[in-house]
Amino acid sequence: MRLGLDSYSYHYAAGLWEYSPRENQPMTALHFLRKAAELGLDGVQLCDPRHLDSLEYGYITGLKERADALGLYLELGTGGTNPDHLQTMVRAAHVLGSPLVRTFVGKPRPRTAEAMAELLKATAAEMAQVLPVCERYGVGLAIENHQDLTARELAELLEMIGSEWVGVCFDTGNPLALLEDPVEALEVLAPRVKTAHLKDYQVVATSEGFALVGCALGEGVVELTRLLDLLSSGGPKISVNIESAVTKHLLPALADSYLQHLPRASARELGRALRLVRDRGLPHMPRLPTERGATEAETLAEEDELVVRSVRWAQRALGRPEVELADSGG
């Protein structure tokens, strides 16, 4: 099993989402490669094509050469199921040396099982248009359980597509957002996993449900050791990419508006989630650096420290030498 870094772990430092550094240069693809090498990791999954300065052949081959020089693998990620976009990403992944393109459906969850079936059918039709390009370039697609599809829904989608070129990017934390147990979710999807996100969450009760708060690996409620055991059965080529992000997701699990989007959810699943919050939830809601008014230096340092703690936990869990904290700068 290969251990890598998912670039969303540095979503503050990258400046592509809700936060943009002003006093520091945003992290680029080259920065991610250097960081992974400093942390003693095997590679990087670039979760968003905006990390690439260009899709031109010269730029992408230069990035691949840099990764090769550092002894790192590269995986390319994107979002959505637009066939034209995915075909472009597959070609870029081929030049980059990435064996796959990670993506996700990214559409709002329907309110009925019938509407979900229609969504899966339409998505499968879009994916089918990409398969000839996957076969031509030898690059697969890995669909993430991105808090949008349950494990069984994703399994249904893969059955509709019916191609070995399409598998799963399994995120260990995301099942919690849909009232799923991550271990049970992985047991459904394990045979089709091509790559994974290693993620942990803390949970906090709210008036309408609970919140998922990003934390370092091993500091939350996800049974990561059991999940790693299951993932290891996929063989040495499976990559597990650490995604430890300073984030917070509010889930109104007691509200009708939330439950209507989970028409197949059972009372057992809801009860299990609420017991988890009751028994292992934090006593108070933590505040993100941006909510506390932290300086840019403090914000980026907190993000980096979270990643370093996660890397050290993963290296211990996999029986690897631990990274030294002194190596975490940059």
Q: What's the pLDDT score for residue 323?
A: 75
The mean pLDDT value for 304-309 works out to 97
Q: What's the pLDDT score for residue 328?
A: 42
Separation in Å, CA 295 to CA 24, 38, 214 = 12, 25, 20
Q: Residue 142: phi, psi to the nearest 5?
A: -125, 110
Locate all alpha helices (DSSP H) within 52-193, ordered by sequence: 57-70, 83-96, 113-128, 131-137, 151-161, 182-189
pLDDT over 90 at 193, yes or no: yes
Confidence of residue 330 (pLDDT cuts 50, 70, 90): very low
Q: Where are the beta strands (DSSP E) in 113-185?
A: 140-144, 166-171
Task: Give pLDDT tens digits for 118-150.
Answer: 999 999 999 999 999 999 999 999 999 999 999
Domains of the chain as residue ranges with CATH: 2-199+221-245+294-327 (3.20.20.150)
The mean pLDDT value for 29-57 works out to 97
How far, in Å, CA of 284 to CA of 267, rounded? 26
The mean pLDDT value for 28-54 works out to 97
Tokens of 51: 């990390």
How far, in Å, CA of 313 to CA of 311, rounded? 5
Tokens of 194: 């091509």
Cβ neighbourhood burial of 179 (10 Å; 0-12, 13-18, 19+): buried
pLDDT over 70 at 329, yes or no: no
The mean pLDDT value for 192-219 works out to 98
pLDDT over 90 at 236, yes or no: no
pLDDT over 70 at 325, yes or no: no
Lowest pLDDT segment from 187-191, 203-207, 233-237 = 233-237
- Cβ neighbours, 10 Å, residue 50: 14
Percent with pLDDT over 70 in the chain: 98
Q: What's the pLDDT score for residue 327?
A: 43
Please, are residues 73 and 240 in contact by the beta-carbon 8 Å criterion? Answer: no
Percent with pLDDT over 90 in the chain: 95
> Which residues are CB-neighbours of 12 under 8 A, at least 6 positions away?
19, 21, 246, 289, 299, 300, 303
Please, are residues 317 and 225 in contact by the beta-carbon 8 Å criterion? Answer: yes
